[in-house]
Amino acid sequence: MVVSSNGHFDWAKELKEFDETKAGVKGLVDAGVTKLPRLFEHPPETLQSRPKLDAVHLDLPTIDLQDLGARRSEVVEQTRKAAQEWGFFRIVNHGIPLETMDAMLAAVKRFHEQPTEEKMPWYSSDVRKQVKLNSNLPSRENDPASWRDILSCVFNDDQLHPEDLPLACRKEVQQYVKYMIELREIMAELLSEALGLPSDYLSNIECMKSEALACLYYPKCPEPDKTLGTPKHSDTTFLTLLMQDSTGGLQILHDDHWIDVPPVHGALIANIGDLMQIISNDKFISVEHRVLAQPVGPRISVACFFTPSMKAAAKPFAPIKELLSDENPAVYREFMFREYTQHYKTRFDKAETALLHYKIR
């Protein structure tokens, strides 16, 4: 622990020292830490409601894409209900081969478990870099860090040069993203129809034409009750598709209770992002979620965040006009995509959600 001359914890110094190792949280575990560094300690109120062993397991809705052609109206209705009532749902029979999913999880593990020297060239906090490794450290003073490392790969307009990707996972990332894009097109149609719009509506406005792949590595934690793998947040996306390994730890806030989301091999988890809630004028909901730190690990997961094309990001977003009427006026004001993400970064963990900032008073 870094302590200043007046006896207080020196947040800035500890953050700088940790960041300069370029070894991430994995580096702390490799060094054999048995006590959680102060930088990673979260306030007790943010750790509350860690479920006891007898916690009730409410299960997420499951959307089965098998025989979609024949079952389309049924699947659209299930999607509408899940997006409206839960904001989170599982997707099965999605067309991504199991071996592609398993290979992607293995590649993420392989990348993060390379020697630190191999990973150092990728370590960066430069937001302009399309591919970078970091621990997503807090930018606001005295905010706690989280117990995880992230390799981020950003595909603007579905494009990222293969040679920009680390060799340890290059082939698997390219293959996985190809399937993510195919599934995005299916989900864009289902969500459009679930809003009562033409099936190509969301695709035409290009609100999900870019994707950011977060390849997450949550090492085992020496004191998991004092920190979080990912703190409570909602996603600043239109849609997120998540693949997780068999470790578990994901929880969602449903009816004011933290609900465990146990992993199901081969299933993906979809969640509605803040921006989809806004353009749907609250017909769909974006839900807060978190990942617990655990005494076992590593936990590997891959989140695919869908955001607008470069062209669409330059234009304002607002509730879709076709969904509005005198009885159902706009709940949110117009906004720019970058303005939203910037506001969220400055308010992260201090506001329940950035959505409130965009509500018409």
The answer to whether residue 50 scores a pLDDT higher than 90 is no
In which domain, by residue range, is 99 found? 18-33+61-358
- What's the whole-number average pLDDT of the chain? 91
For residue 3, the model assigns a pLDDT of: 40
Extract the tokens encoding 142. Answer: 């005295």
Q: Which among 84, 65, 83 has a CA at the least distance from the CA of 74?
A: 65
In a domain, 317, yes or no: yes
In a domain, 181, yes or no: yes
Highest-pLDDT range among 125-139, 196-210, 329-343: 196-210
The answer to whether residue 290 scores a pLDDT higher than 50 is yes
Q: Which amino acid is at 243?
A: M
Q: Among 100-109, 168-177, 203-212, 256-265, name the one with the lowest average pLDDT.
A: 256-265
Residue, of 208 and 258, whose pLDDT is higher:
208
In a domain, 178, yes or no: yes
75 and 68 Cβ atoms separated by less than 8 Å: yes
In a domain, 119, yes or no: yes
**Mean pLDDT to the nearest integer, 253-267:** 91
For residue 57, the model assigns a pLDDT of: 63
Residue, of 1 and 22, whose pLDDT is higher:
22
**β-bridge pairing 62-64 and 88-92:** parallel
In a domain, 52, yes or no: no
2 and 189 Cβ atoms separated by less than 8 Å: no
Beta bridge partners of 242: 269, 303
**Mean pLDDT to the nearest integer, 13-18:** 92
Assess whether the previous peptide bond of 298 is cis (omega < 30° from 0).
Answer: yes
In a domain, 51, yes or no: no
Residue, of 254 and 169, whose pLDDT is higher:
169
For residue 53, the model assigns a pLDDT of: 38
First vs last C-alpha separation in the chain = 45
- Quote the pTM value: 0.94
In a domain, 38, yes or no: no
**Domain count across the chain:** 1
In the structure, what pLDDT confidence band is assigned to residue 347 with cuts at 50, 70 and 90? low
**Mean pLDDT to the nearest integer, 319-343:** 91
Q: Compute φ and ψ for 143, nearest 5 degrees.
A: -75, 145
The answer to whether residue 352 scores a pLDDT higher than 70 is no
Residue, of 178 and 259, whose pLDDT is higher:
178
**Mean pLDDT to the nearest integer, 74-80:** 98
**Mean pLDDT to the nearest integer, 205-225:** 97
* DSSP code string of 252-320: EEETTEEEE----TT-EEEEE-HHHHHHTTTSS----EEEE--SS--EEEEEEEEE--HHHHTS-B-S-
**Cα 253 from Cα 235, distance rounded (Å):** 13
For residue 351, the model assigns a pLDDT of: 46
In a domain, 7, yes or no: no
**Cα 97 from Cα 203, distance rounded (Å):** 24
For residue 125, the model assigns a pLDDT of: 87
For residue 305, the model assigns a pLDDT of: 97
Q: Check residue 92 and report its DSSP letter.
A: E
The answer to whether residue 341 scores a pLDDT higher than 60 is yes
**Cα 342 from Cα 47, distance rounded (Å):** 26
In the structure, what pLDDT confidence band is assigned to residue 45 with cuts at 50, 70 and 90? confident
Kindly tell me the sign of the dihedral angle through the C-alpha atoms of 29, 31, 33, 39: negative
In the structure, what pLDDT confidence band is assigned to residue 49 with cuts at 50, 70 and 90? low
Extract the tokens encoding 219. Answer: 């090492």
Q: Residue 147 belongs to a domain with what CATH number?
A: 2.60.120.330
For residue 308, the model assigns a pLDDT of: 97
**Cα 356 from Cα 203, distance rounded (Å):** 26
For residue 59, the model assigns a pLDDT of: 84
